[in-house]
Amino acid sequence: MNQHHESTGPVDEQQITLRGPAELADALPYLMGFHPNDSVIMVALHGGRGRFGGRLRLGIPQSPQEWAPVAEQLAECLIKGSERRGERPDAIVIFLCQDPAEGESGSQLMERLRPFAQRLRTACGALDVPVLEALCISDGRYWSYCCPDSRCCPTEGNQLAMPGTSVMAAAAAYAGIQVRGSLREMETRLAPLKTSAAAGQQHALDSAGAELMPRLLDEAGREEVARETLDLARRLMKRLREAPVAAPSACDINDDRLIGHDEAAAVILGLQDRETRDRAAEWMEGEEAGAALRLWRALSRRCVAPYEEHAAAPLTLAGWVSWSMGDEPTARVALGLALRMDPAYTFAQLLHEACNQGLDPETLRRCLRGERSARTGRRGHRTDRSARPRAGRPASPRRKKAPTGPARPESPTGRRRSGRAAPSRRASGGEG
């Protein structure tokens, strides 16, 4: 189970009236930005007219023994989080979305998940917030756990509305809201390669790790590797940007073909250094952003076994760029996967929390722009001084003095930068 849930702040103030379970079920992809699967979603409602507020998503726990504690945790998280944002929910809507197992019907799945739905309703009620509706969505149908009337809620369920035919679909199209496919499809774009190319990528990562490790053990070598990593990443971004435009279905395949195994391995291992990763995070806007996002996605796919945990860095960068570009659903998926690979990855934790709290990414963008400008200014100042000889005597080279002064500043992620070398190989970790 992914312990790092996804939540969002209140939706925009657009007046849309939803009547009954059918329209609630149809509205779910537009509320989340994708079609959720294997997910429990809780949505806060506010006021007498049931205005949508915060939303929360978590993978459905596989073990029924987890249902009670997870239900209590989710209810408290949604309600307390809404209170921190200034408004306690007046009611909650629950969705359980899962595909039937092999040989299982939608009705059987609905009954199997009924105890979990009841746990969620009880947990919300214990905090004095009623559950207005609890729906199970599976195999193109929906069921209500709250309605006992078989005339409107039959045991075989009700068919979901045809996509694009509801009032919510019309309002979403007018507002420019996109549904980006299913959660599973979004995660697949970032998952490690399972093709025959995986063996070649693993060999390249093994070789690159053996070559980089001695250089990463000293300060001068680490700085040289950082420069090489960023220069190579810039060249790959330029290559992706200048490549012919491909159809959306072939975009990822074409990007994978444009990046060699050795190139991917060098950048992946170089990004394990936090300072290098922070420098790469500066490519978050303008023409750099689109190419950077494609590169981080491609590198995430190249973190094949047993290097899955190395994907935390490119996944976090992919989430950051997506959030910076205004694509919050994609950002939350990428950041959630980063935390699944490495639950203690601080940069992903901070970005995930900030995105979920509805904060403005411009605050971090300003910080990164400032660091970039300051670094450029320092480099230009050094160049000007070295190019200008003192009056009355010819210029001569100077020996570098040993660095003095305060320790390294904090990185934009809130963690102090370190010269610790990235391991050449890490064992695969389980899901958090």
Average of per-residue pLDDT across 359-370: 93
Q: Is residue 412 part of a domain?
A: no
Does a structural domain hold residue 388? no
Looking at per-residue pLDDT, the higher value among 265 and 165 belongs to: 265
Mean pLDDT across 203-213: 94
Q: Are residues 72 and 221 in the same domain?
A: no
Tell me the average pLDDT of the chain.
83
Characterize 209-248 residue by residue with b for buried, 16 or more Cβ atoms within 10 angstroms of its Cβ, and e for exposed: beebbeebeeeebbeebbebbbebbbebbeebeeeeeeee
C-alpha torsion sign, points 80, 81, 87, 93: negative
Residue 168 is predicted with a pLDDT of: 65
- Structure confidence by residue, pLDDT tens digits, 264-321: 999 999 999 999 999 999 999 998 999 999 999 999 999 999 999 999 999 999 999 9
Phi, psi for residue 150 in degrees, rounded to 5: -70, -15
Indicate whether 194 belongs to any domain: yes
295 occurs within a structural domain: yes
Diameter over CA atoms, the chain: 100
CA 130 to CA 273: how far, in whole Å? 47
In a domain, 101, yes or no: yes
Residue 380 lies in a domain: no
Residue 61: exposed, middle, or buried by beta-carbon count in 10 A (0-12, 13-18, 19+)? Answer: middle
* Pairing between β-strand 131-138 and β-strand 91-97 as defined by DSSP bridges: parallel
Report the alpha-carbon distance of residue 300 to residue 279 in Å, rounded: 18
- Same domain flag for 111 and 204: no
| Residue numbers of the domain that contains 302 | 189-362
Residue type present at position 245: V
Between 179 and 313, residue with greater pLDDT: 313
Average pLDDT over residues 323-343: 93
252 in the same domain as 168: no
Residue 53 in any domain: the answer is yes
User: Mean pLDDT, to the nearest integer, of 100-115?
Assistant: 95
Same domain as 198, residue 347: yes
Find the mean pLDDT for residues 356-360. 80
Least confident residue range of 174-178, 205-209, 247-251, 257-261: 174-178
One domain for residues 166 and 211: no
Of the residues 362, 380, 400, the one at which a domain ends: 362
Q: 139 and 108 in contact (C-beta within 8 Å)? A: no
Distances in Å between the Cα of 127 and the Cα atoms of 94, 120, 130, 145, 177 are 15, 11, 9, 20, 33
Please tell me the predicted confidence (pLDDT) of residue 386.
46
Least confident of 63-72, 79-88, 186-195: 79-88
If asked whether residues 210 and 355 sit together in one domain, one would say yes
Q: Is 66 exposed, middle or buried (0-12, 13-18, 19+ CB in 10 A)?
A: middle
Q: How many domains does the chain have?
A: 2
Q: Are 125 and 227 in a shared domain?
A: no
Range with the poorest average pLDDT among 163-172, 185-194, 333-342:
163-172
Where is the domain boundary, 313, 337, 362? Answer: 362
Whether residue 251 is found in the same domain as residue 338: yes
Are residues 304 and 331 both part of a single domain?
yes
Burial 133-166 (b: 16+ CB within 10 A, else e): bbbbbbbebbbbbeeeeeeebeeebeebbeeeeb
Please state which of the ranges 50-54, 80-84, 190-194, 261-265 shows the lowest mean pLDDT. 50-54
Q: What is the distance, to the nearest Å, from the Cα of residue 235 to the centroid of all Cα atoms in its chain?
A: 25
Cα-based distances in Å from 166 to 140, 160, 162, 303: 15, 10, 8, 41
pLDDT tens figures, 406-417: 333 334 444 433
Strand partners, 59: 39
- Per residue in 131-142, pLDDT (tens digit) is 999 999 999 999
Q: How far apart, in Å, are the Cα atoms of 248 and each of 129, 240, 251, 294?
A: 43, 14, 5, 12
Regarding whether 294 and 169 lie in a shared domain, the answer is: no
**What does the pLDDT average to over 329-358?**
91
Q: Which CATH number characterizes residue 25's domain? A: 3.40.140.10
Q: Are residues 163 and 210 in the same domain?
A: no
Q: Residues 385-392: what's their mean pLDDT?
A: 43
Would you say residue 393 lies in a domain? no
Name the token pair of 341.
Answer: 């690979």
Co-location of 226 and 112 in the same domain: no
Answer with the one of 316, 335, 362 that is the final residue of a domain: 362
